[in-house]
Structure 1
């Protein structure tokens, strides 16, 4: 059910300051017209590719988010962008909001390795939830980012970049979630330890659906629903959706898997789901029928989700590789999956990589 599609990156735009290639850390993908938007989890740029006559994507252009937003750390600190969405002429961007645990290094003493394993790290830019105006150029057909520009759909109205209020250690969203009875106890844990970790974003008008890789509670994954409203000076704030809190919770029984990505097609929500912790395991695509039409908080049982197909993942000699992280709506019949840590077989020459194209119709029939 999966075919390959080639993504070509530019050699002079592809390496971060540490020398990691953008194709080795793809974390999310979104298609707008002929453009494919991608992010790498260890940089502060958004990448745009354009569809070519042969069906591949190329003409790589990078957009530095420091040119549009007030990032807490402007010194190339990673944002760990795990979600991109598009609605109402805005490109929405979402950081993971997660903590990191340091990795032990084999060459060090046992004592030093243990010490590193006890250390947690917080990157200031990870707490980003923002929007940037995105408008299609009528001559080239390409979508381009702007800090501020006229709204092509509303005469006399201006679009402007804005972000949720926060600090180098938190955001308004995380401040609220620390008080939550389900999520609060996990906000002090790193994402790879089943701690709080956002890894999916889908948009429906003014509504944002945030998919959590963790925590997973007794097999149940969590989708948060929020709306943002203006708060002056190019900032946003959470709209009060319920009397007791400014967000809704939806629990989905994915049998222990966390959410890696969310995408919307019509009123259906497509879910890329996989292990919440740092391990190889089954990664699958689910369809939540009419998920975008639900107005109340809900418990979505396994029987109410369509398991469309499994996605390739590393095992054996390729353990730890081919980690499916991004899901895009390629067209009304196909999904595109991009991978973090691709295998050598997925890499093409020095600057290209293969993504997978999955037929929704074939997957549904097979399931």
Structure 2
């Protein structure tokens, strides 16, 4: 069962590179009456607030270059594909993926083929970062800060920080280059079943990263990492096993990659869909007890609960209504936002419909 909910943006905050933020929603997170959203072609986070009519509006945009040392400042997209919150920090992850150029029909055959051979990287995509997020008790809104006093530990300062990285890699991709499963895919563009992060969830000190690709013989991958901060404020990966600075969890999603992750109790909600650039089934799963235990997992298909199949564009709407973001809405519902929404999903010049889906009876 699902219901529609309206997200209302401000036009003056929403247009970048001729694209409206509502046309590229890629991640969602609810913090009480605030809904945080990202657009995959920007370097900003958008905050909406719950209204009396049940919609989310009162749009505020936060430029992340003010809080983080982005390699290309605000001149290159971060391709934010996951946001989470833990211990008064908002966490964000860029896709860490390469992209292959698209052929353009008006060009010559030779030029179109040449574009298909060109692989590029956006320098801001290699970001795993945290930003202090504090509730303003006067207006009830959560706000981002470069530094702030920890509300739970008086005298302790929270500060924005990020994993060491540059314009072509991060510490995460560097350690994964040697991985027996993922290493061969680091240099392959995301839309070609290459390495592509599209989900982030937090639980205490643990950070879970969902991979849209690669999918290996039908099995999707969740990476589990933890970080520690050095004296200069740079984040480093903690060693989690005798061999690796991460743990790998494999899930048999029958060929689907991971689009988003969300923690709910001891479980993980998983939004899953095609890893390649195509239309296909998009569904929400529950991995029961995902956060219990310390070992790496092989999760077979019958150990996952399939909760809901999310509608997607087909036919004349092929390539549209791609579910990308998943937020825990309340104890029984999740909220789903869409990349490339259909015209039917758009309202006026600046609003769009999201879905609220019941996943708990």
With the length of structure 1 as denominator, give the TM-score of the two structures.
0.98
> What pairs up with 1:35-46 in 2 under 5 angstroms?
35-46=34-45
1:231, CA displacement in angstroms? 1.8
Cα shift readout 1:28-83 (whole Å, capped 9, x = no counterpart): 00000100000000010000000001110000000000100000001420000000
3-state SS of 2:22 partner: helix
1:294, CA displacement in angstroms? 2.9
Partner of 1:139: 138
Partner of 1:344: 343
Cα shift readout 1:219-278 (whole Å, capped 9, x = no counterpart): 000000000111222210000101111000000000000000000011110000000000
Q: Is the 8 A contact 1:38 1:47 kept in 2?
A: yes
Partner of 1:34: 33
Partner of 1:225: 224
Q: Is the 8 A contact 1:186 1:215 kept in 2?
A: yes
Distance 1:125 1:310 in 2: 33
What is the Cα-based RMSD across aligned positions, in Å?
A: 0.6
Partner of 2:9: 9
Distance 1:350 1:155 in 2: 45
Distance 1:361 1:288 in 2: 14
Distance 1:234 1:51 in 2: 35
1:292 pairs with 2:291: yes
Distance 2:83 2:38 in 1: 8
Q: Is the 8 A contact 1:43 1:76 kept in 2?
A: no
1:81 pairs with 2:91: no
1:2, CA displacement in angstroms? 1.2
Cα shift readout 1:270-308 (whole Å, capped 9, x = no counterpart): 000000000000000000001011310010000100001
Partner of 1:328: 327
- Structure 1: which 5+ residue stretches go unaligned? 363-367
3-state SS of 1:38 partner: strand
3-state SS of 2:134 partner: strand
> What pairs up with 1:262-273 in 2 under 5 angstroms?
262-273=261-272
Structure 1 ranges of 4+ moved more than 3 A: none
1:120 pairs with 2:119: yes
Aligned residue pairs: how many? 361
With the length of structure 2 as denominator, give the TM-score of the two structures.
0.99
1:361, CA displacement in angstroms? 2.3
Q: Is the 8 A contact 2:7 2:351 kept in 1?
A: yes
Distance 2:61 2:266 in 1: 31
Distance 2:344 2:118 in 1: 35
Q: Is the 8 A contact 1:149 1:159 kept in 2?
A: yes
Partner of 1:155: 154
